[in-house]
Amino acid sequence: AQTVTQSQPEMSVQEAETVTLSCTYDTSESNYYLFWYKQPPSRQMILVIRQEAYKQQNATENRFSVNFQKAAKSFSLKISDSQLGDTAMYFCAFCRSSGGYQKVTFGTGTKLQVIP
Amino acid sequence: NAGVTQTPKFQVLKTGQSMTLQCAQDMNHEYMSWYRQDPGMGLRLIHYSVGAGITDQGEVPNGYNVSRSTTEDFPLRLLSAAPSQTSVYFCASSRTGMGGMYNEQFFGPGTRLTVL
């Protein structure tokens, strides 16, 4: 079974600074996907960024980027130029495709507070 | 498109009562799923469906029933509510993964359920 570990329950960062959220996972699969989801106080789950395991290049979406270390099974999220709107819970998630459907395992989340 | 809709947004039940959480999507997605979100535990999969008439259990199925009579709707039934089912429930939908490809999951806004 896959497990996803987020070891930082809470973090804070000053506005305009950079912060890195960590995530590690355990799997015996070789082909899978990793994601970061954002959940603001509105509760809506929003996909921030995704990474295909077979791609060596780290994914980037504007101010969000990942550091994917496949051998170490590590998938951290870097948020540059933090903004107040980045305040949210962030969930790391692992997905594998099985029999035509996707099985997603979520981490326990990191609560990020951006301080003005 | 309305995306994924859930009703109600909030619900309070007494122990032993039954109810149905509604979920609908208008994106013609084959795959739909129900998660529950508890503090410190991330999102856990309750049940999922890969198409009309096809459902299966996820990680925490006990106490919940589902059915999928149409592509659009995927209701979650609590047969006899218990305080342990107090949680936030999310419905999600996506296209099914073909050939190992991932398709983004779209989440509903969630239902906060309290069982007294």
Model confidence pLDDT, tens digit, residues B15-55? 999 999 999 999 999 889 999 999 888 899 999 998 899 99
- What is the β-pairing status of strands B111-115 and B10-13? parallel
* pLDDT interval class at B99 (50, 70, 90): low
A45/B contact by beta carbon, under 8 A? yes
| % of residues, chain B, pLDDT over 70 | 95
pLDDT digits (tens, 9 = 90+) for A27-68: 988 888 999 999 998 889 999 999 998 888 999 999 999 999
| % of residues, chain A, pLDDT over 90 | 75
The whole-angstrom separation of Cα B68 and Cα B46 is 14
Residue in chain B closest to A95 (alpha carbons) equals: B102
pLDDT value of position B35 = 96
pLDDT digits (tens, 9 = 90+) for A68-113: 999 999 999 999 999 999 999 999 999 887 665 678 899 999 999 9
Residues of chain A with C-beta less than 8 angstroms from the C-beta of B103? 102
B104/A contact by beta carbon, under 8 A? yes
Q: Is the pLDDT of residue B96 over 80?
A: no
Please report the beta strands in B52-110, taking only residues with DSSP state E, as ranges in sequence order.
Answer: 54-57, 64-66, 76-78, 87-94, 106-107
